[in-house]
Amino acid sequence: MDRRQFLKIAGFSIAGFILDPSLDIRPKGLFANTAKQKITSYIRKWGMAINLDACAKKPGCRACIDACNIVHNVPGLGSPKEEVKWIWKSPYPTVFPEHIHIINREEIKNLPVMVLCNHCDNPPCVKVCPTKATWKREDGIVMMDYHRCIGCRYCMAACPYGARSFNWFDPRLFLKTVYQDFPTRTKGVVEKCNFCEERLIRGLLPACVEVCKENALIFGDLAAIDSDVRKILKQRHSIVRKPHLGTEPKVFYIL
Amino acid sequence: MFKGSREVEARMYDKIKIIAGIIIFLIIMLTPFWYNSLTGKAAYIPQLKIGTDARQCVENTLYMKSNHANLLNKWKESVVREGMRVHKAGDGKLYIISLTGTCLNCHSSKAQFCDRCHDYAGAKPQCWDCHVVPNNAVGRWE
């Protein structure tokens, strides 16, 4: 082979590599550019306020729990050890062990409190995850990637709020109806509340907030001064769960 | 040293038994291949029902045939990790990234479109362990 022939073949080979669509040179940019544009345009900071007074008006109400369970295909296992929880009720002393000596609002002390993932600013679950299956988005939502979760449950051990659940069984076996717009999870992954991330992108409020007739749950952008959640936090006294841990929860409880 | 080792190497004892054994072994081993080629099963190609009148998928057919798994992987990363839910196709059209929404909206029968090929190829994607195959009869909440 002389030099001329060699250069010809080399030239054609390089051209072939560039033109072949399966070699992943062309479509890369499609996703990367648009995603960046979206994120850098304006960064929200999602947060929720829970008005305990409004909740107290209807003691047996579980509209938010039911709505959440339906739209996220949360299975009802019944047994407290193995159940999957996204939003649930817990007694006041376990939710606020550091606030049990509350004296100005004695009546609240005996009521169950709505609890969910706090979407911490400094989430311990994210730090311990070995596969980065859980991470914090720029808008403050602590996300789960079920594709990447290996079910090691380090995050469950790290979460000081017990907000994460492990799927010991195939959840579909325990679902009466399967809601089609959201995937069910599978055996062996950890899951939790995602602040209805899939609804926010469509301009909807989280399901629990939307169904609450008492307006006990107030959701919004903590970065926007005129948002509902900022307004109520300005007007009323609020507490967060276990502030001494420094996790900086984004779920506030209004007393 | 062992005496007369050369003579042992040069001879082959039980020649007939060994050759017969090899032939029987080969017949048993190759039976499935002969069976398939004689019955015509080797030439079987799964027939897919595309389930749509649309001329083109989100990308051209050739690309989709060889790269749909890669595309779905990218879609997964794009939605879950980057929060980016719109796919800009090669021809500039925009599509909502959704396995059950966009893909199965056109390819309405998973059994006749997805499964036939995957079963044939022995490919077992785990998509359906979590993702729900649409069925208009159940479970919608607004």
Residue A91 has φ and ψ, to the nearest 5°, of -65, 145
Which single residue is written with the structure tokens 């169950």?
A: A112
Q: Do B80 and A178 touch (CB under 8 A)?
A: no
What is the rounded distance in angstroms from the CA atom of residue A60 to the CA atom of residue A172?
Answer: 27
Q: Do A137 and B134 touch (CB under 8 A)?
A: no
Q: Which of A69, A181, A185 to mutate to test the interface with B (most CBs of B within 10 A)?
A: A181
Q: Do B88 and A30 touch (CB under 8 A)?
A: yes
Single out the residue of A213, A5, A204, A167 nearest to residue A73, CA to CA: A167
| Nearest-Cα residue of chain B relative to residue A139 | B83
| Nearest-Cα residue of chain B relative to residue A33 | B84
State pTM to two decimals.
0.77
Q: Tell me if A224 sits within 8 A of A208, measured CB to CB.
A: no
The model's pLDDT over A213-254, given as tens digits with 9 standing for 90+, comes to: 999 999 999 999 999 999 999 999 999 999 999 999 999 999
CB under 8 Å to B25, separation ≥6 — which residues? none
| Nearest-Cα residue of chain A relative to residue B140 | A179
The model's pLDDT over A102-144, given as tens digits with 9 standing for 90+, comes to: 777 778 888 899 999 999 999 999 999 999 999 999 999 999 9
**Separation in Å, CA of B86 to nearest CA in chain A:** 8
Residue B51 host element (H or E): none
Q: How confident is the model at residue A31 (pLDDT cuts 50, 70, 90)?
A: very low
Q: Do B141 and A38 touch (CB under 8 A)?
A: no
Q: Do B76 and A201 touch (CB under 8 A)?
A: no
Q: Tell me if B113 sits within 8 A of A153, measured CB to CB.
A: no
* Four-point Cα dihedral A89, A224, B87, A197, nearest 10: 0
